Amino acid sequence: MSVTSMPAKGAAARPMTAEERKVIFASSLGTVFEWYDFYLYGSLAAIIGAQFFSQYDESTRNIFALLAFAAGFLVRPFGALVFGRIGDLVGRKYTFLVTILIMGLSTFIVGILPGSAQIGFAAPVILISLRLLQGLALGGEYGGAATYVAEHAPMGRRGFYTSWIQTTATLGLFLSLLVILAVRSIVGEKDFADFYWRVPFWVSILLLGVSVWIRMQLNESPAFQRMKAEGTHSKAPLTEAFGQWKNAKIALLALLGLVAGQGVVWYTGQFYALFFLQSILKVDGYTANLLIAWSLLIGTIFFVVFGALSDRIGRKPIILAGCLIAALTYFPLFTKLAETANPVLAKAVETVQVTVTADPKDCGDLFNPVGTRKFTSSCDLARDYLSKSSIKYTTTLTPGTVPAKITLGGTDVAFDTTKLADSQKATLAAAQAAGYPKAGDPSIVKMSNPFDIFRPQVATIIGILFVLVIFVTMVYGPIAAALVELFPTRIRYTSMSLPYHIGNGWFGGLLPATAFAMVAQTGDIFYGLWYPIVIAAMTFVIGFLFIPETKDRDIFTFENR
């Protein structure tokens, strides 16, 4: 095999070559398809729960469906280890060919897998196994694509080149939503839920074929080719990357000083904002998804803008500025979002006093990030109901108060567990009488069609969400280049993949559930924001003190010492 010449130091000013454009397009397109496959499950979790966990009641099967979705996030770091090692031993190109094959085939099999009504317990077991394979594949994909593109990029352009990879998660989400919407529109909601939900999963086989064909046309990265030719590649990348403190320390700093903050800012701006609109502000799903979609559509180009800017002023200042600004502004931005999207609720949260008075022995811990706990005591059921109704409350512990008493604007409601439905109905009526909005309140934002974006209320919300997306693009646009430049070629794939997927798969992926659990625990609809704020602030401090600037580093000769 001939060794491709490496990008020269003086190549920054020249235009992108046809080969470089093909490298970026092939890597980005394949990664878009991988994210498409990954997000399909999340978008259709409720329907999948009904198909594969039908032996349980609706609440339980939805929990199991979401846990299966979360499993894909949890195994991503293990995929990073497995495929990162292969990528540093065998090569970047062939490794992310394998990852896309695993992802595409796993997704297609979900589309043809019989439900629990047909094959019983085997259906959910196979489904979860496929989700684990998807997570493992995604864990290996990103590091391969980012490393491959960066090792083709000329000096002074790595931020710009790799920033195209950073658009793929958003574009994959868009693609999955578009395909789902198209099929739903054609067959109707009932037929879609019964059978045609499978069609978007079938489409993945076509996307897989295109991705594999395009990637087969590519050559191995020049840096890896030269390393193999010189015999300097690592024989044990896992041991070298994480068994030697000089390298493991950099991976740990990359996690805490770059990726953890990036992960929580990214998930707050896209996923928690959507969750906040729907579950807390009670905006209907159609409107909430359109609002997020418009903000992403307007903001996606800024991944490339900040990636290119990082070639000029550095990766570190842009990423850390995004973390710091996000940490300082999340509370005012989400407060403004609440005041605009559901003004009656926002006013009630500020003005209506709600107190739960209960026996301390009756009040347990409400922290329930995976949704599997069942509450039975009067105090716990009352607080859980209030938090799910977005009613802000405080708790007063008074021995002997059983059942718990809810006081809303001067009205007392005994929350009797033996008459749970009546207690909930009385609580809701008292809350609405005190100033909380009724379902369908006309002040809650509602879009009549996808282009209903020019009314002041809608435009203001899109503007707020756009600002949140700008934070996302600041931290995410330059992150691939920053991670690639931190590690030497011989262990680059392995070393960068693990901190990336722990930061995004664990710190970021568990954010929506953890933040809502914090809301439920405290009774404050904004309290969940402390999770991303603290992590982003931590990343700013650690990154500022310990992360070096790497934009001028020659990744073809750099070795850790």
Which of 256-295 are b and which e, b meaning 16 or more Cβ less than 10 Å from the residue's Cβ?
A: bbbbbbbbbbbbbbbbbbbbbbbbbbbbeeebbbbbbbbb
> Are the CB atoms for 82 and 98 separated by under 8 Å?
no
Cα four-point dihedral sign 530, 531, 533, 539: positive
pLDDT of res. 277: 92
Please name the residue ranges forming H helices in 362-416.
378-388
Half-sphere exposure of 121 (CA within 13 A, CB side): 0
Tokens standing for 502? 């722990």
The pLDDT tens digits along the chain (561 residues) read 344 445 555 444 556 677 777 778 877 877 787 678 767 877 787 788 888 887 776 656 766 776 777 777 788 888 888 887 887 777 777 787 888 888 889 889 999 999 888 998 898 889 889 988 988 888 877 777 787 788 788 888 899 999 998 888 788 877 887 888 888 888 987 898 899 999 999 998 888 888 888 878 777 666 666 766 766 666 667 777 677 888 889 989 999 999 999 999 998 998 889 889 988 999 987 888 889 889 988 999 999 999 999 999 999 999 999 999 999 999 999 999 999 999 999 999 999 999 999 999 888 887 766 566 678 899 999 998 998 899 999 999 999 888 999 999 889 999 988 889 999 999 999 999 999 999 889 999 999 888 999 999 999 999 999 999 999 999 999 999 999 899 887 788 788 888 888 888 888 878 877 887 788 788 899 999 999 999 999 999 999 999 999 998 877 665 544
What gap in Å lies between CA 444 and CA 37, rounded to an integer?
33
Could you tell me if 99 and 84 are in contact, meaning their C-beta atoms sit under 8 angstroms apart?
Answer: no
CB-CB contact of 291 with 462 (8 Å): yes
| Residue 436 contacts residue 342 (beta carbons within 8 Å) | no
The reported pLDDT for the residue numbered 262 is 96
List the chain domain ranges: 20-227, 238-342+444-551, 348-434
Q: Locate all alpha helices (DSSP H) within 195-244, ordered by sequence.
A: 199-216, 222-230, 237-242
Largest Cα separation within the chain, whole Å, is: 82
Note the pLDDT of residue 245.
84
The candidate with the shortest Cα–Cα distance to 48, out of 180, 173, 208, 170, is 180
**Under 8 Å between Cβ of 417 and 376:** yes
Place of tokens 């959910």: 124
In the CATH hierarchy, which fold is given to the domain comprising 348-434?
Answer: Glutaredoxin (3.40.30)
CB-CB contact of 58 with 464 (8 Å): no
Fill in the amino acid letter for 1.
M
> Which pLDDT score is estimated for 3?
43
pLDDT of residue 7: 52
- C-beta atoms surrounding 117 within 10 Å: 12
All residues at 6 or more sequence positions from 556 whose CB lies less than 8 Å from its CB, including other chains: 6, 151, 222, 223, 226, 489
Strand, coil or helix: 356: strand
Q: What angle do CA 409, 412, 414 make, to 5 degrees?
A: 145
Residues 6+ apart with CB under 8 A from 57: none
HSE-CB at 369 with a 13 A cutoff on CA atoms is: 12
Indicate the pTM of the whole model: 0.85
3-state secondary structure of 397: strand
Question: What is the CA 267 to chain-centroid distance, rounded?
Answer: 4
Query: Do 20-227 and 348-434 share a fold?
Result: no
Q: How far apart are the first and last CA of the chain?
A: 30
Domain 238-342+444-551: CATH superfamily, name plus number: MFS general substrate transporter like domains (1.20.1250.20)
Class of domain 20-227: mainly alpha
Asked if residues 481 and 310 have their Cβ atoms less than 8 Å apart, the reply is yes
Contacts of 260 (CB under 8 A, 6+ apart): 503, 507, 535, 538, 539
Predicted local confidence at residue 10, as pLDDT? 47
